């Protein structure tokens, strides 16, 4: 009974979505802040995440407590504190009104899997098919179909060989219609057979 009660409490918090676009087939779980961002079809973002100025592709799987993007502070000023900046912030005092609010966009490709508690720096590009290990701190661009992990994150290995990666990227299967995906989905457990089967076919 306690489990069900806690589950309901977790769900009813809702998510904070502002100035953003969420595809009708995608899901953003409770406790997540999704600000000035967009998410394409058949993707999901878990509980208690923070996304600020991010573009998320299709078929992405994003676990709980993932942080992507966020505010920047002016390291080239005398102080990094927002009390010297013009925009509203957590602090009330204002000693100057310097304009500093850079909007750095972060891009997450298609079919990306991001593990729990990952931190991704604003402005980073995560390639299609990449896997980000849980607890990773990503400060640099991540190549397509790579598996990265650590702090700072490094490439552990590639999911497939170069030829398969190249063909998967060319296929753009994530742009396929539902009919296309239902037809070929049965081969998704065998990338080479899938690629052979779709040759010359229109999505």
Catalytic positions are 73
Pick from 142, 148, 111: nearest CA to 129: 111
């Amino acid at each position: 009974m306690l489990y069900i009660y806690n589950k309901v409490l977790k769900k009813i918090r809702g998510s904070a979505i502002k100035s953003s676009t969420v595809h009708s087939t995608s899901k953003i779980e409770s406790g997540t802040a999704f600000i000035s961002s967009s998410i394409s079809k058949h993707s999901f973002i878990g509980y208690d995440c923070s996304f600020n100025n991010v573009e998320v592709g299709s078929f992405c799987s994003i676990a709980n407590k993932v942080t992507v993007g966020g505010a920047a502070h002016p390291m080239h000023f005398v102080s990094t504190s927002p009390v010297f900046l013009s925009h509203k912030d957590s602090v009330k005092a204002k000693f100057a009104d310097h304009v500093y609010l850079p909007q750095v966009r972060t891009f997450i490709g298609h079919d990306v899997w991001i593990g729990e508690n990952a931190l991704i720096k604003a402005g980073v590009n995560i390639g299609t098919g990449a896997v980000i290990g849980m607890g990773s701190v990503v400060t640099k661009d991540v190549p397509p179909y790579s598996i990265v992990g650590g702090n700072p994150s490094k490439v552990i290995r590639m999911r497939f060989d170069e030829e398969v990666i190249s063909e998967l990227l060319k296929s753009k299967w994530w742009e396929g219609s539902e009919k296309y995906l239902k037809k070929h989905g049965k081969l998704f457990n065998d990338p080479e057979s899938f690629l052979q089967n779709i040759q010359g076919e229109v999505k």
